[in-house]
Structure 1
C-alpha cells in the first residue's frame, strides 16, 4: 500500500510575494492551473519561475476539455508541454469532464457515463500523452445533473482510467458532494476506486445549499464529513500526496496552515497504523 506523506496548496497570485520570501515547511508542493500561469511575464512570471525552481509544482488544468465533442486543441496542449518543459514539471492532471463544444462554456460539464464515452475519452487521453510526453492524470468531478448515462459514476471512472491506462487524481470532496447530491454511499464509492491508479488527492470545502444539495465551491473550510472521508481514504488506499484546494474566500496563510497541519496529522496516523499492522 502506498505511503507518501506530502501536503500541497493551490498557488494564487496574491500568495507570490509572501512565498517568494519564505514557504512554510508544512507546504511540500504547489498546484497551479496552467491556463492562469503559462502566459504570464513580468513580475508574476519571474516570481512563478522562482517558486518552480525551489519547490515542486503540479499542474491541474481547467480547459483541456477531455470529453468535448470538438477536436482537441492541439496548440493548447503543445503550450502546456512547453510550460512543463520550461519549469521541469512532471505532473499534469485534468478533470474527467468537458467545458467546450462549439464554444467555451467556462464550466465543467459531466460526460455521459456510457461505453462509447469511455472509448472516446481514453483515446483522447493517449493523444494528449503523446504530445506532452508525460502521463495525463484524470480527476473524478462533481456534477449536478445526469446526462443520459448508462453506467454508474463509479463504473465509468474505473472504465476510463483502465482503458486509458492512466492515473487518477482522487478528489475526496467531490465524492462527498456527489454522494449527497446523487444519494449514494460515499464510503462504498471510495472503496471502489482503483488503489493502484491513485496519483494524489484533493480535499476542499463546499457550500451547503440544502440538505440534499451541496455546491463544490472550494471557498470554505473542509467540514467534518470530508475530513472523515479523507481518513477513510488513507486507511483504504494508503497515504498519498494531498492538496488543499482553496479558490476564493482565501484566509491568511496561518489559517490555511491549520488545515494543512491537520492533513499532516491524518497522514501520520495512517502511516503509523500501517507500520503497526506490518510489525
Structure 2
C-alpha cells in the first residue's frame, strides 16, 4: 500500500456533488481535501467506493461536526470509536473538531459557545484527553465564531491558549473566525492571531462571511474570501509559518474554475511567505 503525502499547500472541503468531476480529473490547484466524517459514515455502495477511490489517491483531513467536546452530556464513546475506524480505514492522520458543543439533553442543531471560564478549561481538557486516548492521536480543535459569550470570566484568547496547554492538543486556526469575532466583539484580530501558540497550529482554515452591518459579520462559508481575511492569513504565515490551508465553501458553490482561483491565491501567498520566512531565518 502506497504512503499518502502529508497535507501541504491549499485544500478544499469535499462535497458529495463534487465527486463525479473529481474522479474524472482533480484540478491541480487542490492539494488536499477535508471532509466531515459524519457526512460519509452512514453510506455504503457506490458512494462509499467512490469516496474510497479518492482517499486512496489524495491527502485528506477530517473536520468533525458532532463530537460536542464542550457538552454537559457524556462523551459518545461509541461514536469516537467509529471515527477511529473511519480514520484508519482511509489512512487519515488529522482529525479536527469545533471548540464548541452541539448537544445538551438532545441535539441543538448548532455550534454553541463554551463559556470562557477556568472551570470550562478544566472540564474540556479532561474530555479532550479522553478522546485522544481512544483515538491514539492528537485532537485538533478549531477556534469558532460566536455571537454571544454567556458566563465569560476570561478572554477567548486565554481560554484557547490554556486549553491547548492543559489538554496537550493541537489547534486548527480559522483565520476567518478570528476576523469575524474581532469585528463582532471589538478586539484586535492581529493581536489575537499573534497570541496563538505557533507550535500547536496544525493547519489553517479560511472562508467567506456575510456582512450584515458594520458591526456584525456572519460566518457563512458561502462567499469568496474577503480582503481583510486575506490580509490576516498573510499575517498568520508571517507570524506562525506557512502551513496547509483549507478553503471552506459550503454553499453558493461557484464553478471549479473560480474555486481554483482562490486556491491558487492561497498557494501564491504561501510561496511568497515561504521564501520570505526562509530569508529571515
Which range, TM-score by smaller chain?
over 0.9
State how far apart, in whole Å, the 2-side matches of 1:53 and 1:76 are.
24
Name the residue aligned to 1:10: 13
Name the residue aligned to 1:220: 223
Paired residues, what number?
275
Contact 2:36 2:64 in 1 (8 A): yes
State how far apart, in whole Å, the 2-side matches of 1:201 and 1:133 are.
22
Normalising by structure 2, we get a TM-score of 0.96
Name the residue aligned to 2:264: 261
Name the residue aligned to 1:142: 145
Look up the SS of the partner of 2:131 in the other structure.
helix
Name the residue aligned to 1:163: 166
State how far apart, in whole Å, the 1-side matches of 2:128 and 2:149 are.
23
Shift of 1:257: 0.3
Normalising by structure 1, we get a TM-score of 0.97
The correspondence of residues 155-194 of structure 1 with structure 2, limited to 5 A, is 155-194=158-197
State how far apart, in whole Å, the 2-side matches of 1:115 and 1:51 are.
42
Contact 1:10 1:246 in 2 (8 A): yes
Q: Deviation per CA, 1:126-182, whole angstroms, max 9, x where unpaired?
A: 111111111110000000001101000000000111100011000000000000000
| Regions of 4+ moved over 3 Å | none
Name the residue aligned to 1:243: 246
Unaligned runs of 5+ in 1: none
Superposition CA RMSD, Å = 0.9
Unaligned runs of 5+ in 2: 1-6
Name the residue aligned to 2:86: 83
Name the residue aligned to 1:270: 273
State how far apart, in whole Å, the 1-side matches of 2:74 and 2:278 are.
48
Deviates more, 1:130-139 or 1:148-157: 130-139
Contact 1:99 1:106 in 2 (8 A): yes
